[in-house]
């Protein structure tokens, strides 16, 4: 008796670790735009999160995403079927996992948990006719995509961002070698991977920027004269409350500059594990009347605050273990609003903010440099507005979602066509 024919491999899957994730608007925007440009996708999620704040664009995906438990009778059955059907491939993948991750105990423990779910995803993807899997972040999602590829032959690609290549390099080169292509958000990242994994992989690494929809952000008019000192000067920061965001630097900069800027009001939007410690530091620095923690907010609220703010500041730092930003999307949002912007000279940020042209760059961990830049911005509103306007033009030229998704879509379509 002939077995039924398998579906043609002509569909795309996105594989992400968490969904919905309020801090990963860049992934959500990309998925929405990929589909708007005519390439439908199936969303596979490792952890379906219960978020207090959910972006409206994420809501339709909640009813159509695919996920599985870490361990269940169905997941165990899928793994047994792979062991029977493809014992050499199944055991080889386990062997590679233990050999490459031995000694990297956190990664090995995570891989042991993720492998069975990846095998279950692989079986499901085969049944749905998935021809290509695109994983966001080069760590755990890319590892699962590698397992899926090893079991099914479904091709994979990766978007690499920041921590996933700067410090979490376990199995990175193996995943890059197996991928059909790797998308990176900056030339800095492209060079980083090529240096780490060898120049032979550079040809498959493509710079595909994260981006914004600039029509969502209103441009600003140039000021007609000096700033009115009676009006509050509103500074905005949007960042998760985590160490690599450099919030302690921001707090100290606020303390140093408050006497130089009449009516200073500074709002920090974002949540995270360091909130309690940062609240204590704000109290110690005596800036609680100037600097407020606004908590996490949805994208439309942030866009509204960008319209009313006078300046945007992000004081990201490079941590001793090399954790650092890629190019934060919120900087693109600030520049798309024409907002005068100060950021640190790390990672790919200088590809977006060009010091003296589209904004101000300062060294990381230098609160006095931040304070001086902010005071200079305040004292020269015409130059500040000019840099803000040039920043918006730079975003329009290189950092829009439609243009960069079109580049990614072409790569994805080529991968799917090759599977056919």
The secondary structure of residue 270, as a DSSP letter, is B
Pairing type for strands 311-314 and 41-48 reads unpaired
- In this structure, is residue 1 part of a structural domain? no
pLDDT for residue 220: 76
| CA neighbor of 386 nearest in space, from 359, 362, 361 | 359
pLDDT for residue 167: 83
Same domain, 342 and 359: yes
Helices marked H in 291-400 — which ranges?
A: 299-308, 329-336, 367-379, 381-398
- Per the structure, the complete domain to which residue 266 belongs is given by 214-398
In order of 31, 36, 92, the CA distances from 39 in angstroms are: 9, 7, 33
- Angular region, 269: left φ>0, alpha ψ -120 to 50, beta rest: beta
Using CA atoms, how far apart are residues 155 and 130, in angstroms rounded to an integer? 9
- In this structure, is residue 2 part of a structural domain? no
Pairing type for strands 311-314 and 205-207 reads unpaired
Same domain, 317 and 340: yes
pLDDT for residue 224: 61
Q: Length of the chain, please?
A: 420
Q: How many domains does the chain have?
A: 2
Angle between helices 140-152 and 105-128 (to 10 degrees): 50
Name 156's Cβ contacts closer than 8 Å, sequence gap at least 6. 132, 133, 134, 135, 142, 145, 146, 148, 149, 178, 179, 180
Same domain, 167 and 24: yes
Same domain, 249 and 353: yes
Local confidence pLDDT in tens for the 420 residues of the chain: 454 555 668 899 999 999 988 778 889 999 999 999 999 999 999 999 887 778 888 899 999 999 999 999 999 999 999 999 999 999 999 999 999 999 999 999 999 999 999 999 999 999 999 999 999 999 999 999 999 999 999 999 999 998 899 887 889 999 999 999 999 999 999 999 999 999 999 999 999 999 998 888 888 776 766 777 788 999 999 999 999 999 999 999 999 999 999 999 999 999 999 999 999 999 999 999 999 999 998 888 999 999 999 999 999 999 998 889 999 999 999 999 999 999 999 999 999 999 999 999 999 999 999 999 999 999 999 999 999 999 999 999 999 999 999 999 999 999 999 877
- In this structure, is residue 68 part of a structural domain? yes
Same domain, 381 and 371: yes
In order of 254, 292, 312, the CA distances from 289 in angstroms are: 11, 8, 19
What DSSP line would sit under 45-83, residue for residue?
Answer: EEEE---SS--GGGHHHHTT-B---SS-HHHHHHHHHHH
Using CA atoms, how far apart are residues 159 and 153, in angstroms rounded to an integer? 19
- In this structure, is residue 327 part of a structural domain? yes
- In this structure, is residue 6 part of a structural domain? no
- Give φ, ψ of 162 to 5 degrees: -150, -90
Same domain, 296 and 327: yes
Same domain, 115 and 166: yes
- Give φ, ψ of 263 to 5 degrees: 70, 25
- Angular region, 93: left φ>0, alpha ψ -120 to 50, beta rest: alpha
pLDDT for residue 75: 97
Same domain, 191 and 46: yes
- In this structure, is residue 56 part of a structural domain? yes
In order of 121, 253, 272, 335, 345, the CA distances from 350 in angstroms are: 39, 21, 26, 13, 6
Using CA atoms, how far apart are residues 309 and 264, in angstroms rounded to an integer? 11
Using CA atoms, how far apart are residues 207 and 155, in angstroms rounded to an integer? 20
Same domain, 46 and 20: yes
Using CA atoms, how far apart are residues 309 and 266, in angstroms rounded to an integer? 9
Pairing type for strands 264-269 and 360-362 reads unpaired
Name 179's Cβ contacts closer than 8 Å, sequence gap at least 6. 142, 145, 155, 156, 157, 158, 204
Same domain, 354 and 255: yes
Positive or negative CA dihedral for 187, 388, 296, 344?
Answer: positive
Same domain, 119 and 221: no
Same domain, 334 and 305: yes
Using CA atoms, how far apart are residues 415 and 405, in angstroms rounded to an integer? 15
In order of 40, 136, 196, the CA distances from 160 in angstroms are: 22, 7, 14
Using CA atoms, how far apart are residues 257 and 222, in angstroms rounded to an integer? 24
- In this structure, is residue 4 part of a structural domain? no
- Helix (H), strand (E) at residue 196: helix 187-197
Burial of 47 (0-12, 13-18, 19+ CB in 10 A): exposed
pLDDT for residue 102: 94
- In this structure, is residue 158 part of a structural domain? yes
State in Å, rounded, how far the first CA of the chain is from the last one: 26
Supply the CATH number for residue 168's domain.
Answer: 3.40.50.2000
């Amino acid at each position: 008796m002939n077995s039924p024919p398998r579906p043609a491999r002509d569909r795309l899957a996105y594989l992400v670790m968490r969904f919905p994730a309020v801090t990963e608007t860049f992934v959500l925007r990309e998925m929405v735009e990929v589909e708007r440009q005519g390439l439908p996708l199936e969303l596979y999620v490792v952890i379906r999160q219960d978020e207090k704040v959910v972006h409206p664009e994420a809501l339709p995906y909640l009813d159509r995403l695919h996920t599985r438990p870490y361990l269940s009778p169905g997941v165990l059955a899928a793994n047994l079927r792979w062991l029977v059907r493809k014992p050499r491939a199944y055991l080889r993948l386990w062997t590679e996992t233990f050999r490459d991750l031995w000694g990297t105990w956190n990664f090995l423990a995570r891989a042991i948990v993720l492998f069975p779910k990846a095998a279950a995803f692989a079986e499901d993807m085969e049944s749905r006719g998935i021809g290509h899997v695109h994983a966001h972040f080069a760590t755990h999602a890319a590892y699962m995509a590698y397992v899926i590829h090893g079991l099914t032959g479904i091709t994979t690609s990766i978007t690499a961002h920041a921590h996933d290549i700067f410090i979490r390099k376990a199995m990175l080169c193996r995943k890059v070698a197996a991928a059909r292509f790797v998308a990176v958000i900056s030339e800095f990242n492209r060079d980083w991977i090529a240096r780490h994994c060898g120049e032979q992989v550079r040809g498959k690494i493509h710079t595909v920027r994260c981006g914004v929809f600039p029509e969502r952000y209103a441009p600003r008019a140039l000021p007609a004269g000096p700033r009115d000192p009676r009006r509050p000067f509103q500074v905005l920061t949007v960042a998760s409350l985590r160490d690599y965001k450099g919030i302690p630097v921001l707090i100290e900069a606020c303390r140093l500059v408050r006497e130089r800027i009449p009516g200073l009001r500074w709002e920090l939007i974002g949540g995270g594990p360091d909130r309690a410690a940062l609240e204590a530091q704000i109290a110690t620095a005596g800036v609680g009347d100037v600097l407020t923690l606004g908590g996490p907010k949805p994208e439309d609220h942030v866009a509204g605050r960008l319209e009313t703010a006078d300046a945007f500041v992000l004081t990201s730092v490079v941590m001793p273990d090399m954790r650092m930003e890629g190019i934060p999307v919120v900087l693109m949002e600030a520049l798309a609003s024409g907002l005068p912007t100060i950021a640190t000279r790390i990672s790919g940020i200088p590809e977006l903010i060009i010091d003296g042209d589209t904004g101000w760059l300062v060294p990381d961990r230098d609160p006095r440099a931040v304070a001086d830049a902010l005071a200079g911005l305040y004292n020269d509103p015409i130059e500040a507005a000019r840099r803000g306007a040039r920043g918006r033009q730079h975003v329009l030229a290189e950092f829009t979602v439609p243009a960069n998704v079109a580049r990614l879509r072409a790569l994805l379509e080529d991968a799917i066509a090759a599977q056919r």
